[in-house]
Amino acid sequence: MEQVAAGRKTRTVEVGRIKVGGDSPVVVQSMCATRTIDVDQTVAQAHQLADAGAGIVRIAMDSDKEIPAIKEIREQTKGITLSVDLQENYRIADRVAPYVDKIRYNPGHLHHIEKKKTIEQKVGWLVDVARDNNLAIRIGVNCGSVAPAFLEKYLGDQLKAIVESAAYHCDLMDDLGFTRFVVSLKDSDPQKVVEANRRFAGRRPDVPIHLGVTEAGLPPDGIIKTRIAFEKLLAQGIGETIRVSLTLPNERKHEEVIVGHKIIEDVHAGKFISVPEFGKGLNIISCPSCSRVENEKFVELAQQVKELMGCRVNGPGETDDADLGLWCGPTTVNLKKKDKKVGFFSYDDVLGRLRKELDQLIAAQSASN
């Protein structure tokens, strides 16, 4: 499979003015963490990311109320290549399509909307929208929200479920005669990211891949985990566009782009870092934030506790594998042990309860050693 990847040359996919794949250099992108409905802040951050070197800037949407906002954002960001993340509502694609260059949908979020329609029908409609509006598509498979049908089919093998879900949606694109798409296969575990993308690259060497370690966390840990995956994959010719997902306050969000360019530069120069194993001790994952986050309190919380947490969209699934996980909402935090809910707490109260649970966990693990 490594030989397949080494000789791999994907087709070129045009995303607005940006070319992804083929002979094009690796494209660094990032995502606005501001609320999309806040036009001024979102426009400012889009320019902030683009000025730092982001070739593509992604904005998240899942509400009809945000459509007027994306129209205005487009007016004020001409010259910036915009991608829209449809999150949990693919049905708004046709109304946001005139204002962006790419749409990203998650195969794991198609099954629970318009249940009378088949997945094939829904994807077919998205392809029609993309064609009618001259857009590219990203098929974004995420470890925290893999389509139930694939989890059931490959019970106990989530990695295979991720790869097979991505491959299936590529087949749907092929059947529809649509080639202007890229794929991402993401996990918070860098080793799983490496393995999933290696498998997929061997399976579909023609399809450009977007690399990402979802919810990598705070710097410097999040940077290290991202480099673990990106160095191994980019060195093998896998990865045509990348996003470094870090938990950062808005004014520092552009650092994701700077780190992404630095990783690419180092790989091209043959500079690789020695990295630790994250399988032992405390492994911290945390949301990089997006417009679905209604406040920045979770960033402060992550910095305080350096503990596991997830996002509104994928958090419930991504925290199921954590010994202790924090799933943060607008005003409350859901504390979990593996897939079991401990309870909801305020941002002020959760830290004390988390410390108690962490002490109990450490004591239990010490007693078993």
Chain segment 216-254, per-residue pLDDT in tens: 788 998 999 999 999 999 999 999 999 999 999 999 999
Is the pLDDT score of 301 beyond 70? no
Q: What is the pLDDT of residue 109?
A: 94
Residue 165 pLDDT exceeds 60: yes
Q: Is the pLDDT of residue 327 over 90?
A: no
Residue 183 has pLDDT above 80, yes or no: yes
Position 170 pLDDT exceeds 90: yes
The pTM (predicted TM-score) of the whole model is 0.78
Other beta carbons within 10 angstroms of residue 322's beta carbon come to 20
Domain boundaries, the chain: 2-268, 297-368
How many beta carbons lie within 10 A of that of residue 27, not counting itself? 25
Task: Tell me the CATH number for domain 2-268.
Answer: 3.20.20.20
Across 258-282, average pLDDT:
77
Can you give the pLDDT at residue 365?
72
Choice among 82-91, 262-271, 292-301 with the minimum mean pLDDT: 292-301
Quick one: average pLDDT of 148-155?
Answer: 95
Q: What torsion do the CA atoms of 351, 353, 355, 359 make, to the nearest 10 degrees?
A: -170
Q: Which residue has the higher pLDDT, 326 or 7?
A: 326
- With 0-12 CB in 10 A as exposed, 13-18 as middle and 19+ as buried, what is 365? exposed
What is the pLDDT at residue 243?
97
Q: Which CATH code for domain 297-368? A: 3.30.413.10
At 276, the pLDDT band (50, 70, 90 cuts) reads very low
**Percent of residues, the chain, with pLDDT higher than 70:** 84
Tell me which of 318 and 127 has the higher pLDDT: 127
Mean pLDDT score of the chain? 87
Summarize the confidence of residues 248-263 as an average pLDDT. Answer: 96
Instruction: Reply yes or no on whether the pLDDT at 206 is more than 60.
Output: yes
Q: What is the mean pLDDT of residues 329-352?
A: 79
In this structure, of 85-89, 288-292, 356-360, the range with the lowest mean pLDDT score is 288-292
Q: Can you point out the beta strands (E) in 202-313? A: 209-211, 241-242, 309-310
Pick from 250, 186, 313, 298: which is nearest to 32 by CA?
250
Confidence of residue 360 (pLDDT cuts 50, 70, 90): confident
Q: Whole-angstrom Cα distance, residue 46 to residue 87?
A: 19
Cis amide leading into 220 (omega within 30): yes
Closest CA to 320 of 148, 165, 145: 145
